[in-house]
Chain A
Amino acid sequence: MTIHHDEPDVSALLAPLESVEPGLMQRLHDRLAAAAAEQDTLDIAYRTVDSPIGKLLLAATERGMVRVAFEVEDHDAVLQRLAEKLSPRILFSASRLDPAARELDEYFAGTRHRFDLPLDFSLSRGFRLSVLEHLPQIAYGHTESYAQVALAAGSPRAVRAVGTACATNPLPVIVPCHRVVKSDGSFGNYLGGTEAKRALLALEAA
């Protein structure tokens, strides 16, 4: 905040007005997020959750989950891109993401094998979208090769494009691109890092 006036004696006179009670901004913020959701002006709500593969950013529109992001992607940068691509009407708000946070908790605890969340694929188009729509059909604990996914998505020769679709998956973990591996059985790259992919496959193999 920059205050453009050069009268230090007036600043001193008004200085007592600077203080804001602890917790008040938080309360006003939460009230704003709730009212905005009610008036349909909260286009994107987000929160973070802790997980065995690091802190995850969860973002949802009114239609459903729109983005899951790993810490290595830089959550601030991810939010900035959402503002530019979808809408800048973005607020931190836990409530819209409560079901997603709960299901992810259960998934990482090993008690949930399928996600039952509405998904908003508005960040994906064309062939990439076809790939993402196929991925939830790969069952928990199973894997498919990039070539198998290409075939299932309707373009058997588009193996590289499947790799790109997985690498740009806006909803990792929930849309299980980690279940796509190389034909020789090696892991292949992963947006959250090879270690994260290994951890997810190990969790599901347990």
Chain B
Amino acid sequence: MKRQAKRSKRALILFIVLTALVLAQAVWWTVFMAQLVDEKVEIAEELDAGAEYIEDVQKQEYRRQIMVGLEGVFFLVAILVGAWLIYRSLVRAEDVKFQQENFLMSVTHELKTPLASLQLYLDSLGSDKVPPEKKAAIVPRMKQDVHRLEQMVQNVLDAGRFERSGYEPQMARFDFSALVGRELERVEQSAWSRQVKINGSLANEIFVYGDEVGLMRVIDAVLTNAIKYSTDDPAQIDVSLERESKGCLWTVVDHGVGLEYHHQDRVFERFFRIESEATAGIAGSGLGLYLARELVLAHGGRIWAESEGLGQGTTIKISLKTDEK
């Protein structure tokens, strides 16, 4: 974060210096042109030219000055706009670079943590000092770690693929409400560092024509995010699924760190993660909501975030077309 601020500051300094130089040159040219008129008039006077001739010289020079001045203003504006565009793209490039560095660090953490726990569990299974009853409980946990690794690798691969060629859903008609119900149960029972309580209010038999696996990943990403960024313990997540005209609305509400208004769209950008005191120490790759958005868009749906601000929790809403018969 500090490094990014330093680079952006450097770009700003470059922009200010460039602007100052251009403006200084413009001032210098203006002064120079004004002096040139005076010099020409002085020379004409020294040569005892007639008043009419001197007036003509003055008029001619003023016309020339206006022409050159207008051209100067045009080029000045063009140069300043150019400098501003360069500055803006430098800042953007730094932003992208920072997000990519951040992504690499996050992915490293996300991959290494399940690897570390797998390594420890393998040590436990091979150790004579660990009692058999403890060993019995290890295998399901190892499966969870393998699933986490698989999901992470899949997310990284998909992020690249979606960017290049978009997502092609495998469409079929299925009961979306049943899928949401199953996922709520599964996510609630997964291993979390805190207790998780999901309060669901789901309408029954909402059918959609879509990619069941893709939408399962959307549900998983949104719920995982809600739990990770919850600040209450146990984490209370309120989930509702309701019918709307020609569609359905799935809503997930957490009581966590919340979002500032200008971040409410950005959380769906690839690699984007909010760097703040409240989110420090929360692991994530910045891919979950990006992939969720891509998947929802591929279904012709809409996903958006709402929040009253920092510390006020976040609501993620997804609207999808239904396929009622």
B partners with A = no
Residues on B close to A: CB < 8 A? none
